[in-house]
Amino acid sequence: MEAAGTWALLLALLLLLLSLLLTRALSSPRARGHLPPGPTPLPLLGNLLQLRPGALYPGLVRLSKKYGPVFTVYLGPRRRVVVLAGHRAVREALGGHAEEFSGRGLLATLDGIFDGHGVFFANGERWRQLRRFTALALRDLGMGKREGEELIQAEAQCLVEAFQETGGRPFDPSLLLAQATSNIVCSLVFGLRFPYEDEEFQAVVRAASGTLLEMSSPWGQTFEMFSWLLQPLPGSQARLLGHLGALAAFAVQQVQRHRGSLDASGPARDVVDAFLLKMAQEEEHPDTEFTEKNLLMTVIYLLFAGTVTVSATVRYALLLLLKYPQVQARVREELTREMGAGRAPGLGDRTRLPYTDAVLHEAQRLLALVPMGVPRTLTQTTRFRGYTLPQGTEVFPLLGSVLHDPEVFEQPEDFTPGRFLDKEGRFKRHEAFLPFSLGKRVCLGEGLARAELFVLFTAILQAFSLDSPCPPDALHLQPAVSGFANIPPAFQLQVRSR
């Protein structure tokens, strides 16, 4: 018995010594180089004590108050991340060192699926080629032009008609809004739009929303920290893989349809056509990046992002108008005064509708759709604010901390559209308004998203007065889920034709 007790004591001391050595090694100057300071990581846990899954972003913001706007954390034992907080640090890094901070970081929930392919997840020369090609293809199809605006206006009219069919009854606008934005991206990518009653289309839209929900959930945040442990477990990603599988099956179906009808001599009808034509041009090049896998991964990403991002923001803007009826009344008054009832607002009317534009900007700012930003990696060793960040260092630019930076936005947690207006009532820009990020990895669809937000929002407000079966005080603005994305809470909407 005494021998057994002695061995147990020796084993415990050995484990304690090993833990101390590992902790010291992880936090030693040699391991950390000249990285920014941060909390000391624990063996196997990293900074789990400071960063609780389910509240990862608030934990990072809290650490920034202790360690400053540039600091280092460990998500689990293996993933070392440099965090940038506040508009000054983020703008200096992503804008002032755009090339160095242009690598794509890890999204563990999706990395195993995309595997560095497609326009969003690629790096290096693959990313440069795919981004340049996709941006040009979208521009040729009308993005940023009158044709693109007319496409959005036509879908906005379909959305208004779908709202009218509710007959004033309470309804959840989530699905219809996501279908509208998905139809816009489907028109550009696949050359198709789908009726809102189409059950297959509804399933695809729900799969896109489900993907964002799983990524942002407490499970998704835990997976980002401990993917090495959770990934081998059976069923750990079942729901996420199910949603992604539905998106992938739809994308494959559309690509196969295009192969059967592709006109090799004609202009591209949509993004898939353009990609297939480019693949044909480069089929003799062994190192081409225009491959089947890059096509599918690009299409899946465009379908996913085009469905969930704008629709979530419009939904949040409508919730804000229910919560603050005086703001809704002022938006409707401006629309009536400037536009009348006979013409749908277009992008050229933005300057005539400064208050409406300010409300949209404030809704984007307050929601902070992607609060932690999309992870970056350094493409080369970089000297930044006195620290040496080695090539390959992963970086989290906290966009939420930029959009809620009290140095720029007084009382940042309040909904105050007037902060985007000057003394004469004209729209006023803020350098810290960066919902689409900054630098070479700025959102590929920023122009399209901004156009969709304005046209869809103004079309709804020009056509309807918005009501809620709940009193304004009963409506809550806090996200239902906050992780990779801030997902607005569900609510019921009633519309009355104006």
In terms of DSSP bridges, do strands 79-84 and 394-397 run parallel, antiparallel, or are they unpaired? parallel
Average pLDDT over residues 426-442: 96
Confidence of residue 33 (pLDDT cuts 50, 70, 90): low
The phi and psi torsions of 359 (rounded to 5 degrees) equal: -60, -45
Residue 27 has pLDDT above 50, yes or no: no
Separation between Cα atoms, residue 21 and residue 32, nearest integer Å: 15
Query: 51 and 77 in contact (C-beta within 8 Å)?
Result: no
189 three-state secondary structure: helix
Query: 479 and 486 in contact (C-beta within 8 Å)?
Result: yes
> Quick one: which H or E segment has residue 394?
strand 394-397
Average pLDDT over residues 3-26: 45
In terms of DSSP bridges, do strands 481-482 and 486-487 run parallel, antiparallel, or are they unpaired? antiparallel
Average pLDDT over residues 449-471: 97
For residue 429, give the nearest of 438, 437, 421 by alpha carbon. 421
Residue 1 has pLDDT above 60, yes or no: no
Chain CA centroid to CA 47, Å: 25
46 three-state secondary structure: strand
Return the bridge partners of 70, or none.
Answer: 84
Fold of domain 45-497? Cytochrome p450 (1.10.630)
Query: 94 and 402 in contact (C-beta within 8 Å)?
Result: no
DSSP assignment letter at 437: -
DSSP, residue by residue, 216-247: HSHHHHHHHHHHHHHTTSTTTTHHHHHHHHHH
pTM above 0.85, yes or no: yes
Separation between Cα atoms, residue 458 and residue 234, nearest integer Å: 47
For residue 152, give the nearest of 111, 188, 118, 116 by alpha carbon. 188
Burial track 200-230 (b if 16+ CB lie within 10 A, e otherwise): ebbebbbbbbbbbbbbbbebbbbbbbbbeee
CA separation, residue 97 to residues 290, 306, 385 (Å)? 29, 28, 11
In terms of DSSP bridges, do strands 464-467 and 494-497 run parallel, antiparallel, or are they unpaired? antiparallel
Q: What is the pLDDT of residues 282-299, one digit of tens each?
A: 998 989 999 999 999 999
DSSP assignment letter at 352: G
Instruction: Quote the pLDDT of residue 232.
Output: 86
Q: What is the pLDDT of residues 189-244, one digit of tens each?
A: 999 999 999 999 999 999 999 999 999 999 999 999 999 889 888 787 999 999 99
Share of residues in the chain with pLDDT > 70 (%): 93
CA separation, residue 319 to residues 295, 307, 325, 329, 477 (Å)? 37, 19, 10, 14, 8
Instruction: Quote the pLDDT of residue 31.
Output: 41
Residue 491 has pLDDT above 80, yes or no: yes
Instruction: Quote the pLDDT of residue 32.
Output: 47
Q: What is the pLDDT of residues 299-318, one digit of tens each?
A: 999 999 999 999 999 999 99
What's the half-sphere exposure (Cβ side, CA atoms, 13 Å) at 169?
5
Q: Average per-residue pLDDT in the chain?
A: 92
Residue 13 has pLDDT above 90, yes or no: no
Separation between Cα atoms, residue 184 and residue 454, nearest integer Å: 14
Instruction: Quote the pLDDT of residue 30.
Output: 36
Instruction: Quote the pLDDT of residue 150.
Output: 96
Return the bridge partners of 278, or none.
Answer: none
Residue 15 has pLDDT above 60, yes or no: no
Q: What is the pLDDT of residues 78-107, one digit of tens each?
A: 899 999 999 999 999 999 999 999 999 999
Q: What is the pLDDT of residues 390-433, one digit of tens each?
A: 999 999 999 999 999 999 999 999 999 999 999 999 999 999 99
Chain CA centroid to CA 312, Å: 10
Average pLDDT over residues 132-155: 95
What's the half-sphere exposure (Cβ side, CA atoms, 13 Å) at 163?
28
Residue 130 has pLDDT above 90, yes or no: yes
Q: E strands, 85-210, where?
A: 103-104
Q: What is the pLDDT of residues 340-388, one digit of tens each?
A: 876 788 999 999 999 999 999 999 999 999 999 999 999 999 999 999 9
Instruction: Quote the pLDDT of residue 498.
Output: 79
Residue 14 has pLDDT above 50, yes or no: no
DSSP assignment letter at 370: S
Instruction: Quote the pLDDT of residue 16.
Output: 46
Separation between Cα atoms, residue 483 and residue 479, nearest integer Å: 10
Instruction: Quote the pLDDT of residue 233.
Output: 84
